[in-house]
Every structure is written in structure tokens, then in C-alpha cells.
A and B are shown apart, each in its own frame.
Chain A
Amino acid sequence: MIVQSKPKRNGFFHWTVARRKVLWAYIFLAIPIVFFAYIRIYPAFFAFQMSLYDYNPLAAEQPYVGLENYEDLWKELNKRRSVTKAAFQNTVNYVLLGVPIQLCLALAVALMLNEIRFLSTPYRILFFLPYVTSTIAIAWVFRMLYQPQFGFFNVMLQLLSLPQQPFLNSPQQALPSVLALVVWQGMGFSVIIFLAGLKQIPRTYYEAAEVDGASRWHTFRYITLPLLNPSIVFLLVLQTISFLRMFAPVVAMTVQGQGGPLDATTTVVLRVYREAFQSFNMGYASAMTVVLFVVILIVTIIQLRFTTRSIN
């Protein structure tokens, strides 16, 4: 870029226009990067540091305690009953139930939407709408729908002469009830990704399969599913992370945001929030965050390792 005929000189004022342009581009890009680093990345790493301290935001001094917060967490997890233990167990249940159900439903819906031509856009909007609606608003509407006495679901059950159900007020039914909302709300996003994936599959494969006389199931099993693999992996990782981080629907749907009844719906992130901002145990809360971070990291690595494969 540097003009050869002139002697090479250092310093900004002797740079070429092109180089200066690039530099300015970097300077402007640096602003959001610095902002992002300071607002998102630095606090995230600060959590690692906080987890080694008896960190109380109200206090003037934060004593260093080493791994004590982690020891406390380990003790809590090994108790016969503790909120923290329930939070971790519930979070695992949310992931193990939520991710497969959501992906299967989304795939089924996407396959159907991919078939129809008439009114296809309104249908897609219909499935995507919940995803762009406020979670809190939806959660409150569901809370009313689940209401044991006058809620829509129970009125329906009554009309069908079936026994009324406590839903959110029962320790057994509360978690599935919350999960149903999250699955339904998040499904729109998965549907769109699957639809995009389906559009990527060349029609020629299907035509070839048809010529060979393959059944619908075989076409799905040996063409659609393998070629959708990138979409599936992407959604698997993303949805697992989102279920691991579950918070808002639980707060909005349970009494006084406690994750009840009897801790049946509480999650790790809700626990972190309560410990940090209501009991002021930021160190302990940070230790839980770090554990959650490690879990997410490991799960993601495993998923990427075992589900990504090349297709012939």
C-alpha cells in the first residue's frame, strides 16, 4: 500500500489514505468492543474472583476465603434436602425433558409448515409470535390459565367431566406446567431454524429417492434427518444452554417468585439471584455461577463433539 517512490516514514500523519481508513474503522469498532468487554466480559470473569471471597455488597471489606464457598455448595448438594440441591435437580430435569420435547415438536411443525403452500406465511407467524412476546406477560397469562379454580384449563377439564388439577400448586405438576410454557414459547425459534435448514436440502436428493421408490419414512430417515444435522446441533446446543439458564418464567409463575411449591420449580439461576441479592451472599452465588458455567461448557463441548459429523 505504501507508495514506493517516497522514502518510508513512520507516524500517523504519513500514512496512506487507505491505511488511515482501516485504522479509523478499528477505532470505531473498538468502542462497542470496549463497551462489551467492560459490561459483559469483565463482570463474567469477576464472578470467578468473587467466588473466592466472602463477598457482601453491603460491606466495606470483602475477606478472602479461598474455596470455602465451593465447600459450602458441596455440603448443600449432599444434604438430604436443600433448596440448592432442588435447584440443581430441577435444572437437570428442565434440560432433559425440555430440550428433546421442544426439538421434536419443532421439527414436526417445521416439516408440516414446509409442506404447505397456501397461507404458509400466516402459519409461520403464528408459531413465531410467542417467541417475540414478553416472557413475563406470557407467564402471567399462563398462571391465570392454570389457576386451580377458575383457570381455563380446569374449566375445560370440568366440561369434559375430568377431575380438576392443581397444576402450579402441586409439587408434582408444577415443573411440567412451567416447562410446557417454555417449550411452547421457545418453539417458534426452533421452527424457523429447522425451516431454514429444510430449505437448504437440494430437491434433487428427494427426486432421486422418489425414483428409487423410497418410502416417506426412508426419505426422512436417510435424507432429511442427516442433512438437517447442522440445524439440529445448533439448536441442541442453544436450547440446552437456554434451559440451563432458566429464570424469568419460574419467577413470574410461582408464588412470590420463590420457585415453589416446596422448591419444585426453582432453578440454579433463581437460586443465584436469591443468594446474591436477597441474602447478600455474592461469593456463594458466584461459586454457583462458576459451577453452572463449567457445566454449560462441558455439556456444550460434549454435544459438539458427538453430534457434529460430516455427511456423504
Chain B
Amino acid sequence: MRKLLAILAVAVIALSLGAVALAQDDVVEIEYWQYNFGARVDAMNMLIEQFHEENPGIRVVHNSDIPYADFRTEIAASAPAGVGPDIVTLYFGWIIAFVDAGYLVPLPEEPFSEAFIRETFSPMVANSKYLGEYWTVPTAVRSLALFWNKDIFAEAGLDPESPPQTLEEFQEIALATTQYGDGGQDVLNVTQQGFSPTMQGQIHHWFRDVLIRQYGGQSYSDDGRTVMYNSEAGCEAFRWVTEFELEHVTGSFDIMDGSTNAFVNGDVALHVDGSFRVGTIRNNNPDLNYGVAELPVGPNGENHTFGSYWTHGLTRRAASDPARMEAAIKFLEFITTPEAGALWVSIVGELPAQLESASDEMLLADPILGPFSAGLEYASATFFVDESAQRQVMLDAYDFVRLGGMDVCDALDEAAALEQELLDDFWAERE
């Protein structure tokens, strides 16, 4: 027994000496987390490799094993345990929740001054500002554009090189490209979808941030505190979206679980999505003969698109240790340069967040990425206080019309009341 104790004691001493020796190595280790998305993981690994070469004193541990659905859960589990990331990549709609919890710390004035961010980054990055401070900064941003299947266009006798320019044309083409089986014009009888309004995908953004504006309305008051989409313009825009399934029967979420997979498989003519889908198509169906165009203009002749981004913030954990914080800031600066953005666009397909490389001539001329890039100039994003809940409100409104037979205006009123309650609760706690 005593012998065992002695051996144990020696082992403990030896281990702690080893730890001291390692710590004296002067290598600061920081942890970086993002959710698992193949192309993003590859791109970040390349950036980290470059960073290590330039900064031998810093080692970045890259945790990218967590699937999207579990990402926030894992962060929440890591925080009380005192572990987790020093730098974390979050969806811009989540920033508020993480700031309110005290999980993120404000970006330091040097090198991320307000003027610097405002002047060099895409305007939508303003969504990273909250309570007067910037909390995150992105490598890349995304916008929505129109994907169309050239083969289906050709089969329907349409010019495969001219995508719809207006919402009217969009509707006409959707009708012309829809095909049915023998049983008539029924949703479950659609064999080829002209357009499938998949709210679970990007369509709720298209409606909220694009169509309503194009119909002359706005979704929220300028200060973002009042829901305004339950207006005449909102009703018209919403009716336009819901009619694809209910009146024109050009497609439905019930067929193949939505538009995204069906478009990648070549079964949908028109599809609205972000540039990140380019990579999905490349990986899953590289032979798909498709094109990308800017979103069609609305009745008021205006161009709009929805912008969104994944963005990097510094955590409370990093701030707890000056050496780690310094290393984390260096790393954050490195992964948000125009060069990092340029590497990112080539691997992931998301557009550089810094205007300098986003407005690159080569990029604008690219047939696939160009339209997304052009959209960045007029892209806007909703300031979400609770992204999941606000998204769900819109999904439910659509289902009330689709499954519950509710009038579009009533459904929007109901959604607006629910969302207003969310906004009121949010602001009430902050005043």
C-alpha cells in the first residue's frame, strides 16, 4: 500500500513538473469553434496554417466537429464547465443572445474601431453592433439570388439564358415549367416543380426582407421595434408567395421535403438561395446545368436582397487571460482581412466581408458568384432579437394559410401580434 502511494506521489510530481516545463515554452494556445460545414472547415484550416507560420508563439486549436443542430447546445454545455472557445463563429441573428448572457466581450478599439468596421466592411455588418458596441466581425457575408435550371427552361421552350427579371416573369415561368402526372393539377401530382415556396429555406427571408419592400411596404419600423408587415403591401406580397402553392400549384414543401434538395436534384425550375448553396451543388450534383441571377425586381422596380453572415466574436473566456486575449485578437484580425475573404470565397463560395475584395472585378464578372456580389450593394438584414422564434412565427403564418385555410391578411396579423410581443418583451427588459 505504501509503495503504491509512493509511486503515485512521484507520478503526480513528475506530471506537474512536466506541465510547468510546457507552460514555459511560451506558446499561447487559443481555441476556435465553428459548426461543422465541410468547406468552411477546410478554409479555416488553411487560414490557421498560414497564421501559425506567421505567429509561431500562438497555437490555434480548431474545433469544428459539432453539427449545426447541436452547436449552440454544445457551447451552452461548455460555458458552465469553464471550457470552450476563445473565438467563436456565430450566426449574426444569435449575437444578441450571446451578448445578453455576457458570453461575448466587445471588440477592442484597436484594431477594430467603429470607423474601421463601418468603412471597410459590408454595410450589413452593422448588425454586429448592439448597445453601442461592435461584438463580432465576419470573414464573409452572403446574399440571396435566383438559381434557375437551364435544362428545364429549354424543355419548356424558354430561353435557357434569360432568367426572369421581374416578379411577373418569375410567376409566368414557374407556371410554364410545372409538370403534373395523370391525376390533374394537384399538389401531390406535381412531377416537376416550377417553384416550391419553402419557408423553411430562405423564402421567409425573401418575403420579410425583399418582397415586402418591393411591394412598397416595410417589415419593421426604422428603429426595429415595431412590426409593420401586416400592412396592405405585406398582404399583397404574402398572397403572391402563398399563391404558388395554393392557386397555381407550382410546387410544395410536401414534395421531397422542400425546394433545396429538389433543386439540387434537378426537379425544380426556380429557386431562391444563398451563395453557400453553390458548394452544395458542386458536391452533390456537379452536372446540374444551372445559372444564377440577381433576384427579380418588384412592382416598384426596386432591387432588394437579404444579407446574412456568420461572424466571429471574442468570448469571456479569452478576456479572462491577457495573453490569450492578445493572441485571440491577433487571430481575429488575421481571419477577417481581405486576403482571408478572398481565400474564403474560393473555397466556401461566401463573399468577402471586406468591400475591397467583394467588389473585385473578377468576382463581379463570375457568372455564378457575380450576382450575389452585385446584391451586396443593396442587401439588408433583419435585426433579430430571437432568430429562432421570429423565424418560426413566419413559418407558422404560412402554414396557417396553407394548412389552416386562413386568410393571408389574418395570418399576417396573427404573426405580427406574436412577433410584436417578442420585440416588446425584449425591449422591456432593456429599458
Contact = CB atoms under 8 A, between A and B. Distances in A.
Interface of A: 56-61, 148-149, 154, 164, 166, 169-171, 255-258, 260-263, 277-280
12 contacts: A56-B100, A58-B102, A58-B103, A59-B101, A171-B403, A171-B404, A255-B253, A260-B399, A262-B404, A263-B396, A277-B72, A278-B72
Contacts of B403: 169-171, 261-262
B97 A280 contact: yes
Contacts of A277: 72-73, 76
A270 to B, nearest CB: 13
Contacts of A280: 72, 76, 97, 101
Given A56-B101, A59-B102, A280-B97, A262 B399 contact: yes
A60 B400 CA distance: 40
A169 B400 CA distance: 12
B316 interface: yes
B188 interface: yes
Interface in B93-111: 97-98, 100-103
A255 B98 CA distance: 26
Contacts of A56: 100-101
Nearest to B414: A81
Contacts of B97: 58, 279-280
Contacts of A170: 403
- The 3 A-B pairs of least Cβ separation, nearest first, read A58-B101, A57-B76, A59-B101
Nearest to B72: A278
B159 interface: no
B88 to A, nearest CB: 11
Q: Chain A interface secondary structure, helix, strand, loop or mixed? A: loop
B200 interface: yes
B200 A255 contact: yes
Contacts of A169: 253-254, 403
Interface in B299-334: 316
B189 to A, nearest CB: 8
A146 to B, nearest CB: 11
Contact of B399 (A61, A154, A261): A261
Contacts of A258: 392
B255 interface: yes
B404 A58 contact: no
B276 to A, nearest CB: 18
A279 B386 contact: yes
B254 A166 contact: yes
A255 B188 contact: no
Nearest to B101: A58
B79 interface: yes
A163 B253 CA distance: 19
B132 interface: no
